[in-house]
Amino acid sequence: MNMHIDQAKRILAANDRGGYTVPTDRLYPFQWNWDSAFVAMGFALYDIDRAYRELERLVEGQWADGMIPHIVFHAPSETYFPGPNVWRTTHMIPTSGITQPPVFAIALRKLHEAAAGNDAETRTLPLYEAALRWHRWWYSARDPDGTGLVALLHPWESGSDNSPAWDIALARVPSTTDTPVVRKDTGHVDADMRPRDEDYRRFIHLVDTYAACGWDPAKQWEKASFKVAEIQTTAILLKAGEDLEHLARLFDRTEDAIEIAAFNNRTRKAIMAQWRPDLSRFVSRDLISGKDVEAATQAGFIPLLSLDLDKQVAGALVSEMKAWSKDLKVAFPTTKPGIASWEPKRYWRGPAWAIINWLLIDGLNRNGHADVAEELRRSTIAAIETEGFAEYFDPVTGQGCGGLGFSWTAAAYLWLER
Ligand code: DGY
Catalytic residue check, 391: yes
Q: Which atom of ligand 1 is nearest to the CA of 194?
A: 3
* Integer Cα distance of 390 and 63 in angstroms: 32
List the one residue out of 299, 282, 283 whose CA is nearest residue 291: 283
Residue 87 near residue 150, CB atoms below 8 Å: no
Measured in Å, residue 311 CA sits from the centre of ligand 1 at 37
Residue 404 near residue 24, CB atoms below 8 Å: yes
Strand partners, 281: 276
Measured in Å, residue 170 CA sits from the centre of ligand 1 at 16
- pLDDT per residue over 200-211, tens digit each? 999 999 999 999
- pLDDT per residue over 298-332, tens digit each? 999 999 999 999 999 999 999 999 999 999 999 99
Measured in Å, residue 115 CA sits from the centre of ligand 1 at 32
Q: Which atom of ligand 1 is nearest to the CA of 71?
A: 7
**pLDDT at residue 116, rounded to an integer:** 87
| Model confidence at 121: pLDDT above 70 | yes
Choice among 54, 143, 199, 391 that is catalytic: 391
Measure Cα distances from 76 to 31, 34, 94, 189 in Å.
11, 20, 10, 21
Catalytic residue check, 259: no
- pLDDT per residue over 324-362, tens digit each? 999 999 999 999 999 999 999 999 999 999 999 999 999
List the one residue out of 21, 95, 109 whose CA is nearest residue 64: 95
- Cβ contacts of 382-391, under 8 Å, gap ≥ 24: 382/330, 383/329, 383/330, 383/352, 383/354, 384/4, 384/354, 384/409, 384/412, 384/413, 385/4, 389/7, 389/8, 389/11, 389/413, 391/23, 391/24, 391/353
Choice among 35, 161, 185, 256 that is catalytic: 161
Measured in Å, residue 70 CA sits from the centre of ligand 1 at 9
Q: Which residues lie below 8 Å from residue 243, measured CB to CB, with a gap of 6+? A: 105, 106, 108, 109
List the one residue out of 363, 346, 321 whose CA is nearest residue 232: 363
* Integer Cα distance of 243 and 392 in angstroms: 27
Residue 110 near residue 190, CB atoms below 8 Å: no
- pLDDT per residue over 234-256, tens digit each? 999 999 999 999 999 999 999 99
Whether the predicted model's global pTM rises above the 0.90 cut: yes
Q: Which atom of ligand 1 is nearest to the CA of 96?
A: 7
Read off the amino acid at residue 90.
Answer: T
Q: Which atom of ligand 1 is nearest to the CA of 32?
A: 7
As a whole-number percent, the residues of the chain with pLDDT over 70 amount to 100
For residues 126, 75, 17, 196, the Cα torsion angle rounded to the nearest 10 degrees is 100
- pLDDT per residue over 257-288, tens digit each? 999 999 999 999 999 999 999 999 999 999 99
* Integer Cα distance of 160 and 279 in angstroms: 21
- pLDDT per residue over 5-62, tens digit each? 999 999 999 999 999 999 999 999 999 999 999 999 999 999 999 999 999 999 999 9
**pLDDT at residue 117, rounded to an integer:** 78
- pLDDT per residue over 355-404, tens digit each? 999 999 999 999 999 999 999 999 999 999 999 999 999 999 999 999 99
At 1, is the pLDDT very low, low, confident or very high (cuts 50, 70, 90)? Answer: low
For residues 237, 243, 248, 249, the Cα torsion angle rounded to the nearest 10 degrees is 140
- pLDDT per residue over 156-191, tens digit each? 999 999 999 999 999 999 999 999 999 999 999 999
Residue 402 near residue 189, CB atoms below 8 Å: yes
H helix or E strand, kind and range, residue 233: helix 231-250
List the one residue out of 55, 63, 21, 49 whose CA is nearest residue 37: 55
Complex prediction ipTM? 0.90
Measure Cα distances from 166 to 14, 78, 203, 240 in Å.
34, 29, 11, 24
Tell me how long the chain is: 418
At 119, is the pLDDT very low, low, confident or very high (cuts 50, 70, 90)? Answer: confident
Residue 403 near residue 391, CB atoms below 8 Å: yes
| Protein residues whose CB sits closer than 6 Å to any atom of ligand 1 | 70, 156, 161, 185
Residue 33 near residue 99, CB atoms below 8 Å: yes
Q: Which residues lie below 8 Å from residue 123, measured CB to CB, with a gap of 6+? A: 52, 111, 115
* Integer Cα distance of 388 and 354 in angstroms: 12
